[in-house]
A and B are shown apart, each in its own frame.
Chain A
């Protein structure tokens, strides 16, 4: 092997490592900041490693603001969103994938075209409606939007792709035996679709967990705030409490990272399917 070909082998690695370190640096900085004292946070030149590791920032993160309450609110909204999505989307997907009826393709195209609809177009009338039925400052506007909003088209599309991959013979023979569509759906197709359901459940959870704009619109009462809008309370007139804020941001992110490591493959698959098909 000559030098040029060795260079060609090493160069991609070198680039990937350098860029990778640049990608990781913000995480490292975030974590290290959370263990520093106020004095060490504001020191020039910067200091990477804290002299003395302290937990105070985490203690302050959960006590300076109603952190536990916001976490609970966020968890409830995210879980309710996931529950409805995994219940409703596969039903619709089954209709689009397995039942032949007039106008099906037209409806499918209509559904896909709603993916282009900006949420700004629908958000004002929806706000007016939720206001009229007295649901502002509750979980329902966010949860119902997760179930029936634009996300539904995306979830149905993803599961339909999966259903289309299930051999027709499997459901046809059950039909010949006289099973109803609903029975075929619940007893044959749905159990096979678990991986796809996991994928859309994950993405729904992720979206609900980090949702900012929706929470900003619908949750004005501080009692109902989620983490996304609650974190701003660390920003005060007399300055930002960086230590506790970074600790809170860490706590806000960690559940997602843990979730990712548990179901990494599903994550990547889900993303890949949406883009490729």
Chain B
């Protein structure tokens, strides 16, 4: 009995710490249960039902998932979204790195440049999109006027279904400031002695970039890939505003900018097909999880963590 006392004393102290710990965590626990766990489970349930908000959900088994495979609009929204990830996000990532490398050349006036590249990311998505709709106006827009002045063709950016996605991608380059700043911070952390050592060994600029810089900033690339791909598959505001404001119709010309999240939103809140939209949400979830998993799996081959920190 006497021996048990210190142990039970330990236990009660441990229990007290657990209690206090959970007390501090309680806002998150509440948020997790109400704003995440409950919705996740309910959404999975809805995805097997037909539900229009006014009558209670009717169980339809896998029908929603089967319907998706037949739904041309759903498939083209998936294509449009993948297109943006592939031809929008990846070039933008490379471009942001390029600018960060230039800024890292210890140029004078760094903070001025940094501000200029960062400013566009401060513009609210809707305001920025409306500005670009005006810039890309086929007749009076600045972009076409400039292209015309140097004798280049002037595409009908917003009305020609071949040019709508490139329009959005072009605008996306304008908003890469956050990635640039993150890359710049990563570049500034690369130890100088690596480059000095490489110089002694006679490495040229290209070697240094390929064998020192890229591996050293690979954790940042890893982070950007995950966040960027997750973000790409939820691409919404800009596509929605472009279509609504320039064509007065969701999806834009030929549904060329009907993105996955937009079509999902349309199903849920305009067609009130809550069951179908929930099934779409789960497919989105699975895609995001698989992409994340893929990046994690391959990361051991291309992400290098330095010794320090």
Contact = CB atoms under 8 A, between A and B. Distances in A.
Interface of A: 12-13, 15-16, 19-20, 23-27, 29-30, 33, 41-46, 88-89, 91-92, 94-96, 99-104, 107, 110-111, 114, 116-128, 131, 144-145, 147-150, 152-153, 156, 181, 185, 206, 209-210, 212-213, 216-217, 227-229, 231-232, 235, 240, 242, 245-246, 249, 252-253, 256-257, 260, 264, 268, 271-272, 274-276
Contact of B42 (A30, A125, A152): A125
Contact of B131 (A30, A103, A213, A272): A30
| Chain B interface mostly | helix
B181 A272 contact: yes
A156 B140 CA distance: 47
Contact of B223 (A26, A147, A275): A275
Interface of B: 14, 17-18, 20-25, 27-28, 30-32, 34-36, 38-40, 42-43, 46, 53, 99, 102-103, 105, 107-108, 113-120, 122-127, 130-132, 134-135, 139-140, 142, 145, 149, 174, 178, 181-182, 185-186, 189, 220, 223-224, 230, 233-234, 236-237, 240-241, 244-245, 248, 261, 264-265, 268-269, 274, 277-278, 280-282, 284-285, 288-289, 292
B127 A252 contact: yes
The A interface, classified by DSSP as helix, strand, loop or mixed, is helix
Given A24-B116, A26-B131, A148-B30, A118 B181 contact: no
Contacts of A118: 230, 233-234, 281, 284-285, 288
A116 B288 contact: yes
Contact of B123 (A44, A253, A271): A253
Query: Which 8 A-B pairs have CB atoms at the shortest separation, nearest pair first?
Result: A95-B24, A148-B31, A210-B124, A122-B39, A101-B21, A275-B182, A125-B42, A125-B39
A127 to B, nearest CB: 8
A228 B113 contact: no
Contacts of A235: 244-245, 248
A214 to B, nearest CB: 10
